[in-house]
Amino acid sequence: MVGGSLSPAFTRSYIKAVKEAFGADQPAKYGEFLDIMLDFFGNRVDLATVVPRMRELLKDHVNLLLRFNAFLPAEAKETFHDVRSYIYSVKETFHDEPAKYAQFLEILNDYSARRVDAPSAVARMTELMKDHRNLVLGFSVLLSTWRYKNHPSDNNKRIRVANFISKLKARFQGDDGHVYESFLEILTMYQQGNKSVNDLYQEVVALLQGHEDLVMKFSNVFKRTTGPSGSKSARSR
């Protein structure tokens, strides 16, 4: 079923957000958005048609594209776990600011070549993308999985991290999407070195209260694999 158990209030708020994003200056785009939604909800088009159309229409509004995920089944969701899709999203966001996109690539290259560590990379990305919160959070997800790509022996860890994040995102969507975003914010602060591994663990366990299966998976994956266990929280500095 399209949209799953999403509330009418969520759907209305999403449509309102799209209308406000396009404003009075782009009525044709808003009309196209409504056409896509009507075709989608009326089952007149399949996912292979809907997703590319919506991706193209909302390419300058990545936050709205991510919110559209709530209407899609898990296998069709747009994700930042893939490096190429994330780079594409950043490129589209900064299409009128080539200098910022070049700076983004420089940070990625520095991290990939191990010229900077994860906290430094996250700090630089946070400053660069301070007006694009969704991209900052997306970078944290990317970093959590990408960090193992050059270490074949750690490939299982990379897969486990990616699987956990996917499971968490699938569990908390629609009206509960704030839980997933809160997790990413906690993870971002940890990767910046502003939280210790104990802070990370305690806050995520509290966030996931009532979801013991996710707490167990988090304990088995993140507490032992994410970042330097010696990171100090801002409070202890």
Q: Which residue has the higher pLDDT, 19 or 230?
A: 19
Interval 48-68: pLDDT, tens: 788 888 878 887 776 677 778
Q: Is the per-residue pLDDT at 223 higher than 70?
A: no
52, 133, 222 from 35: Cα distances, Å: 14, 28, 42
21 or 79: which leads in pLDDT: 21
Q: How confident is the model at residue 29 (pLDDT cuts 50, 70, 90)?
A: very high
- For the stretch 143-196, pLDDT in tens is 765 554 444 445 566 667 777 887 888 888 777 778 887 888 788 777 767 778
Longest dimension (CA), the chain: 58
Q: What is the pTM of this model?
A: 0.44
Q: Among 93, 45, 42, 40, which residue's Cα sits nearest to residue 66?
A: 93
> Cα(128)–Cα(173) distance, rounded to whole angstroms?
27
* Distance of alpha carbon 19 from the chain centroid: 23
Classify residue 166 as exposed, middle or buried by CB count within 10 Å of its CB (0-12, 13-18, 19+). middle
Which residues, at least 6 apart from 52, have a Cβ–Cβ distance to it below 8 Å? none
Secondary structure letter of residue 127 according to DSSP: H
Residue 227 CA to residue 195 CA, distance in Å, equals 11
Q: Look at the domain 8-76 and name its fold.
A: Paired amphipathic helix 2 (pah2 repeat) (1.20.1160)
Ordered by start, the domain boundaries in the chain are 8-76, 83-236
